[in-house]
Structure 1
């Protein structure tokens, strides 16, 4: 694979990733080439590299018997190096809801995925019927979480952070103490909030919903459409399975915490139309309705789950490459931004 034919995009982030290490880069490209060869594929064309503080992603065009396709390589930092093992496990446990990796290197935190088609973000329109697509996508995501409930201990063993509610209070205090940019009064206020935060976590632990895998950054660009395309009139086609990816921010916790980011995306998309937002979220919550647990009761747990979920989001900013040029203050600013929401 010719390094000179690789286009690098940093997105404006000031970060030193492993890509800058020539030896690492050559090893990664050789690993991709060998993995493709085992599938009788050959890289062909210009490679695109996206460098971020939290990952190195390459899009590699390949020659296929049915034309030109692409594969995706990803390298994770140490604190999210669990992702390749998780992707391999999910492809066994819930194969219809994720992509099956072409290859994984769990020791180095590397993975190679086939191209999964269009992102949900790429097919969304401004048509009011988009709400049906949103509802179906969230329904399928909820089913994925339900199906993973028996595997939470295995996920934690694979290295996924264990932020089940009773443990989340410990992580909250650790972030408060270690985040350098918090001002004195802010840190004092967050310390004083610790007993209440622990109480919220204990309350959430009593909900009728079992813990599962939280993707933690669920949005339209982390979902594949499974072949859905807009019709000529702008409506989305029906049917098709959605597939979910990008598990580097994930944790084992209360599944409703997934609604923190997604709820804000829905608010922006539908201009704060609460009736539409409620309809879409109800499609998600329906997966947990069972005898003795009503939809109304489930709704009551969403706000609490999203309130404490800010700590999960804060933690994701501690999962970056150790060599990143972003200063500790820059990284901690993102952590503090989430923690301040509790104030």
Structure 2
């Protein structure tokens, strides 16, 4: 985490920011702030005469985010904002300010109704990217497609201290993957961490940001984090306080239309995906320095609750 605060990195980032702003015809009007620092990324707020912009740098394993964001944005009908500028080598990027977070708006409005629009729009983005799987993988997006999950899960358990003895072996995961694959829904980009801190009101529409944890997988795996891990906890963070059915229907609607399928059939696929999604999240988001987070995700796979 400290490397993001090292004077040499900060100075280089500031120079890069100023150079890119100059190329964009914008002028910095104040000091750059660094409000967000984690082990894997940092974000800086940059004031300009036309409003703030945001600088983001990722660790090496996630430098593909800027390029992925640019590709997905082209397919998103305005729901995923493209970088204002990006560096192909470092993955550094500048992003326009996307307005208030959904998380903060929910607190004010005391409602999760906005998620209905977000989920439907996000599903359409996933459908629009179905033909881009090879391009996304070539950019460096992690491969979490169904045929990879059993092996990745086995590797994860082999290196995980104090794994829950209730966790099944990879054969059970393979069975779930085969059952989900049988529904015939194509694999595509999957955000893998879609929560209310990643959605912003944007320029009049809800926009989805922070694709650093994205992967290529079955699209419905996204429902684990978003529905079971976030929306089900409602406005007041109380377990099972929100009816998931309207949100599930909002997400599945574009898929029902695109594939000519019945919603009830897709609900069964979503039920399987809600379990497998936690396996995907555990595999894709595993950090050796933070095994506890992996334990929580695998407990969600087993129990549907932390």
Q: By the TM > 0.5 criterion, same fold?
A: yes
Length-normalised TM-score, structure 2:
0.89
The CA deviation at 1:103 is 0.8
Match of 2:271 among 303, 318, 322: 303
Separation in 1, partners of 2:131, 2:12 = 37
Match of 2:24 among 12, 18, 39: 39
1:182 aligned partner: 162
C-alpha RMSD of matched pairs (Å): 2.1
Separation in 1, partners of 2:280, 2:27 = 40
Is 1:252 aligned to 2:220, yes or no? no
In structure 1, stretches of 5+ residues that fail to align are 1-14, 228-239, 320-327
SS of residue paired to 1:289? helix
2:73 aligned partner: 91
Match of 2:183 among 207, 230, 245: 207
SS of residue paired to 1:32? helix
Q: 1:25 to 1:315 in 2, by over 3 A?
A: farther
The CA deviation at 1:316 is 4.2
Is 1:224 aligned to 2:206, yes or no? no
SS of residue paired to 2:290? helix
CA contact (8 A) 2:190 2:219 kept: yes
SS of residue paired to 1:63? coil
Length-normalised TM-score, structure 1:
0.80
The CA deviation at 1:127 is 5.2
Match of 1:51 among 5, 26, 37: 37
CA contact (8 A) 1:166 1:205 kept: no
The CA deviation at 1:55 is 1.0
CA contact (8 A) 2:233 2:241 kept: no
The structure with more radius of gyration: 1
Match of 1:140 among 113, 116, 121: 121
Q: 1:45 to 1:174 in 2, by over 3 A?
A: same
CA contact (8 A) 1:142 1:285 kept: yes
Separation in 2, partners of 1:210, 1:94 = 17
In structure 2, stretches of 5+ residues that fail to align are none
Match of 1:198 among 162, 174, 180: 174
SS of residue paired to 1:141? helix
Greater relative contact order (CA < 8 Å, ≥ 6 in sequence): 1
1:337 aligned partner: 296
Match of 2:143 among 151, 162, 172: 162
SS of residue paired to 1:312? helix
1:269 aligned partner: 234
SS of residue paired to 2:55? strand
Separation in 2, partners of 1:299, 1:331 = 33
SS of residue paired to 1:41? coil
Q: 1:222 to 1:341 in 2, by over 3 A?
A: closer
CA contact (8 A) 2:133 2:216 kept: yes
Separation in 1, partners of 2:76, 2:285 = 28
Q: Within 5 A, what are the aligned runs for 1:111-126?
A: 111-125=93-107
Spell out, residue by residue over 1:293-334, the C-alpha distance to the aligned partner (whole angstroms, 9 max, x if none). Answer: 200010111121121111222234446xxxxxxxx4x41222
The CA deviation at 1:134 is 1.9
CA contact (8 A) 2:225 2:277 kept: no
Q: 1:88 to 1:145 in 2, by over 3 A?
A: same
Match of 1:315 among 274, 280, 283: 283
Match of 1:289 among 252, 256, 277: 256
Detail structure 1 runs of 4+ shifted over 6 Å in the superposition: none
Q: Within 5 A, what are the aligned runs for 1:76-87?
A: 76-87=58-69
SS of residue paired to 1:248? coil
